[in-house]
Amino acid sequence: MNNQTGSAVVLTILLLASANFSMAQQNASVQQSDSLANFREPFQKIASFSPDPCGPPTRLDQDSGDLESAIFQMTSDEVTRALNATLSVPKLPQERVVESLDTLKKMSAKINTAWPEENRFQFEILDLPPALVVKVAIRTHGRFLVFGIPEEDDSGKPNRVWRLVGSDDESYREKVTELYLKLYPLHRGPGGAARFLAKYIQSGCAGSVVVSYDAREWVPTGSGFLEQIIKLSGTFGPDDKVHGFEQIGELRTEGSAISLPYCWFSAIDTWDNPSLCAVDTYDLSGNDVRFRARSYNRPDLLPIAKALEYAEQRDYPAVLAYCATAKVAKSLVQKVPPYIRAEDLQVIRTGNWSERVEFGSKPAYRFEVAKLNGRWLVTSFNPN
């Protein structure tokens, strides 16, 4: 082969390679255009609903769950496509996803223009190499999707493909009016595993709200696994500054020690506001997340609430754990009715570390509590 013939062969190969690459790029562009166009129909259908189920305009069926699920699933597919697409100019994973989902955000803004901006299609990305966490929201519901590259595919061979490796559980709750989500990056342990916390606020159109904390850790080893490392839920009332029952602690997610505040309804509540609140602290300094401590806003009233909770269930060993003597525990199990709630709660200090607690319509329930060996316990119970 002479030099002229050889040059012609090389040029032909280069032209074919360029044409093939250009065709691949065009195909990828067409696939993206087709996948994004599929969002138009669910965006149009969901536009007939009010932006907020608790606000006007009203309609008989305010449940748009099927449409939201379809949008979330399509978003997952679109993110996966964007992460694995062949590009002429390399881009970071986060840039690929932002570019793709920005198109959807603009589409929703145009179709759902009658809605407030916060109720249209929204997204947020938490870049936690080697994981990418995407928050997606529309109307009053949000969820998170986690993407990663497991070391191995389903057949055990080396893998380089991005895939959806997990998602939240909260969005599958039925008949939830509002479900708001916020994401927080968490401290990595010595092993460097990606960690994050999802905080959900679930509410109806009035009254108290449910708070849920869901922390996850992604490890790409082998086929990879997204592990739940913290799961906690509680309640917050409409008023967080009830006299005598102020909430305790603040949400802290930075550093190796995090704190999660919450409240819960109990037998000593006097209205639609949980009286007892706590804050849990977790240690994230190691490869294994560990519970560290729990502090209460009213440790003096905790044993009464817990003893009543278990007494209604006739669980004597559990009641005994909150009583100073077996006699008191047996009395509670025998005499507490199936349902008891506080009315006109009165706490009277009888000593440095002792109190008398009364509540209920006449005849009132009377308790004596005292701090013994570092713990508050029920020392007396009298259903007058």
Query: Is residue 188 a part of any domain in this protein?
Result: yes
Same domain, 210 and 353: no
Query: Is residue 82 a part of any domain in this protein?
Result: yes
Q: CB-side exposure of 150: number of CA atoms within 13 Å? A: 16
Q: Which of 294, 318, 348 is the last residue of a domain?
A: 294
Domain count, the chain: 2
Same domain, 39 and 76: yes
- Of 307, 302, 159, 281, give the one whose Cα is nearest residue 220: 159
Percent of the chain with pLDDT over 90: 69
pLDDT of res. 361: 72
What are the DSSP calls for 22-88, one per residue? Answer: HHHHHHHHHHHHHHHHTTHHHHHHHTTS-SSTTSSSP-S----HHHHHHHHHHHHHHHHHHHH---S
Which residues, other chains included, contact 157 with Cβ-Cβ below 8 Å and sequence gap of 6+? none
3-class DSSP state of 179: strand
Quick check: 12 pLDDT over 90? Answer: no
Same domain, 312 and 265: no
Percent of the chain with pLDDT over 70: 87
What are the DSSP calls for 338-373, one per residue? Answer: S----SS-EEEEEETTEEEEEESSSSPEEEEEEEET
Same domain, 237 and 374: no
Quick check: 346 pLDDT over 50? Answer: yes
Most confident of 32-46, 53-67, 183-197: 183-197
What are the DSSP calls for 244-312, one per residue? Answer: T-------B-SSSEEEEEEEE--TT--SSS--EEEEEEEE-SSSS-EEEEEEES-TTTHHHHHHHHHHH
C-alpha torsion sign, points 371, 377, 380, 384: positive
For residue 290, list its beta bridge partners: 283
| Angle at alpha carbon of residue 126, lines to 122 and 128, rounded to 5° | 160
Quick check: 19 pLDDT over 90? Answer: no
pLDDT of res. 35: 66
Quick check: 121 pLDDT over 80? Answer: yes
Quick check: 288 pLDDT over 60? Answer: yes
Query: Is residue 193 a part of any domain in this protein?
Result: yes
pLDDT of res. 264: 95
Q: Which of 263, 294, 325 is the last residue of a domain?
A: 294
Q: Write the pLDDT tens digit of every residue in 48-66.
A: 999 988 877 655 566 788 8
Q: Which of 272, 294, 316 is the last residue of a domain?
A: 294
Query: Is residue 306 a part of any domain in this protein?
Result: yes
Same domain, 235 and 350: no
pLDDT of res. 360: 79
Q: Write the pLDDT tens digit of every residue in 209-268.
A: 899 999 999 999 999 999 999 999 999 987 777 778 889 999 999 999 999 999 999 999
pLDDT of res. 53: 86
Pick from 54-63, 91-100, 318-327: least confident: 54-63
Query: Is residue 263 a part of any domain in this protein?
Result: yes
Quick check: 26 pLDDT over 90? Answer: no
Give the C-alpha separation, 217 to 198, whole Å.
12
Same domain, 339 and 255: no
Query: Is residue 330 a part of any domain in this protein?
Result: yes
Pick from 79-88, 236-245, 268-277: least confident: 236-245
Same domain, 245 and 334: no
Q: Write the pLDDT tens digit of every residue in 150-160.
A: 999 989 899 99
Residues 271-294 have a mean pLDDT of: 94
Query: Is residue 5 a part of any domain in this protein?
Result: no
Higher pLDDT, 273 or 83: 83
Same domain, 309 and 290: no
| Average pLDDT of the chain to the nearest whole number | 88
Residue count (the chain): 384
Q: Any idea what the CATH number is for the domain that residue 339 is in? A: 3.10.450.100
Same domain, 169 and 144: yes
pLDDT of res. 28: 43
pLDDT of res. 243: 76
Query: Is residue 201 a part of any domain in this protein?
Result: yes
Same domain, 315 and 259: no
Which residues, other chains included, contact 342 with Cβ-Cβ below 8 Å and sequence gap of 6+? 267, 268, 269, 270, 275, 359, 360
Same domain, 353 and 273: no
Higher pLDDT, 355 or 58: 355
pLDDT of res. 185: 98
**Domain assignment of residue 164, given as a range:** 33-294
Contact 201, 137 (CB under 8 A): no
Residues 16-30 have a mean pLDDT of: 44
Higher pLDDT, 216 or 169: 216
Same domain, 322 and 180: no
